[in-house]
């Protein structure tokens, strides 16, 4: 006698689940296609955010935000009141985003379909990252309003780029002898970069490849910085980070006229006693 009520109850539960599922699917009126999780976006590059319409409405415009806290925000404005464009189902919309100086491995984007009635949203399915480009190091200019560079001493490899980011307003970056100069004082968010490659070092030689710099308005207050370019060792012919017997053997094996020879450390197209003296003078560990 209790069978029918049980069957009816199960039928009701199934129907409720179907309705709930349909209601959830109905909320996906707009889908964010990219970034959708796992991407690594480089500071200063341009990434195309894309999304498409699933259910059409009386579309007014589009809004975009990003968050470094989580998929629920809080959100930082990326772009608002973007043109509506096509409102047809399946139409794809894009926005070229210049990646801000926000270094984080948990970033999310949200898009809003701004309609004349109910608005609809979608968020990245998983977090993505914002990182510096390869072979790039960073210095914060005036972090938190401080009269300082952070770090004030930075060791880099030959060929690296140094990127200065203004953490507060009213500073500049000037090498003591004019090798680089960011110009007039600049507002927070400014980015200035220098590539420390061999051409730069040749044009701006400094003892030990050490470049001291300062902020013009705050030099008196100790706002000073240093870039130390760590040079590869020209006598480490084997490339093992150490000058030793193997490098000596390579040099002696190249003895004599040898244009473009790696053992010709002084560049005179001849491996001779001068090159031998340089090698012996750098014997041992050599960065």
Percent helix, strand and coil across the chain, each to the nearest 5: 20, 40, 40
At 8 the three-state DSSP class reads helix
Q: Quote the tokens at residue 199.
A: 């051409």
Cα atoms in the Cβ-side hemisphere of radius 13 Å centred on 220? 1
Question: Residue 12: in which H helix or E strand, if any?
Answer: helix 3-26
Domains in the chain (CATH in brackets) are 3-131 (2.60.40.10), 136-230 (2.60.40.420), 242-285 (1.10.1330)
Length of the chain: 287
Tens of pLDDT, residues 45-62: 899 999 999 999 999 999
Tens of pLDDT, residues 217-249: 999 999 999 999 987 887 888 878 888 999 899
The reported pLDDT for the residue numbered 22 is 32
Residue 21 pLDDT class (50, 70, 90 cuts): very low
Provide the percentage of residues in the chain whose pLDDT is more than 70. Answer: 90
Q: Is the pLDDT of residue 82 over 60?
A: yes
The reported pLDDT for the residue numbered 259 is 86
Nearest to 104 by CA among 126, 129, 124: 129
Lowest mean pLDDT among 10-19, 108-117, 163-172, 271-280: 10-19
pTM beyond 0.95: the answer is no
Tens of pLDDT, residues 154-177: 999 999 999 999 999 999 999 999
Residue 215 pLDDT class (50, 70, 90 cuts): very high
Nearest to 157 by CA among 182, 136, 141: 136
Alpha carbons 180 and 218: distance in angstroms, whole number? 17
The reported pLDDT for the residue numbered 27 is 55
Residue 9 pLDDT class (50, 70, 90 cuts): very low
């Amino acid at each position: 006698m209790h069978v029918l009520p049980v069957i009816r109850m199960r039928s009701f539960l199934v129907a409720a689940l179907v309705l709930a599922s349909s209601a959830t699917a109905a909320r996906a009126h707009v889908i964010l296609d990219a970034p959708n999780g796992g991407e690594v976006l480089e500071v200063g590059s341009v990434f195309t955010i894309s999304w498409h319409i699933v259910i059409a409405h009386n579309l007014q415009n589009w809004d975009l935000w990003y968050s470094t806290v989580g998929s629920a925000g809080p959100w930082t404005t990326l772009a608002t009141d973007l043109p509506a464009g096509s409102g047809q189902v399946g139409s794809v919309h894009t926005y070229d985003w210049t990646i801000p100086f926000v270094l984080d491995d948990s970033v999310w984007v949200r898009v809003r379909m701004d309609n004349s009635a109910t608005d609809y949203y979608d968020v990245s399915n998983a977090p993505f990252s914002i990182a510096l480009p390869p072979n790039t190091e960073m210095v914060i200019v005036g972090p938190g309003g401080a009269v300082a560079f952070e770090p004030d001493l930075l060791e880099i490899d030959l060929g690296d780029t140094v990127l200065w980011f203004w953490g507060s307003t009213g500073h500049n970056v000037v090498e003591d002898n004019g090798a680089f100069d960011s110009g007039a004082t600049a507002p927070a968010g400014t980015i200035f970069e220098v590539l420390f490659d061999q051409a730069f070092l040749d044009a701006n030689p400094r003892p030990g490849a050490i470049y001291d710099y300062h902020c013009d308005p705050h030099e008196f207050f100790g706002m000073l910085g240093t870039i130390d370019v760590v040079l590869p060792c020209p006598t480490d012919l084997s490339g093992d980070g150490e000058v030793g017997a193997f490098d000596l053997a390579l040099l002696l094996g190249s003895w004599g006229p040898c244009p473009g020879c790696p053992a010709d450390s002084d560049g005179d197209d001849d491996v001779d006693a001068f090159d031998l003296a340089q090698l012996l003078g750098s014997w041992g560990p050599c960065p």
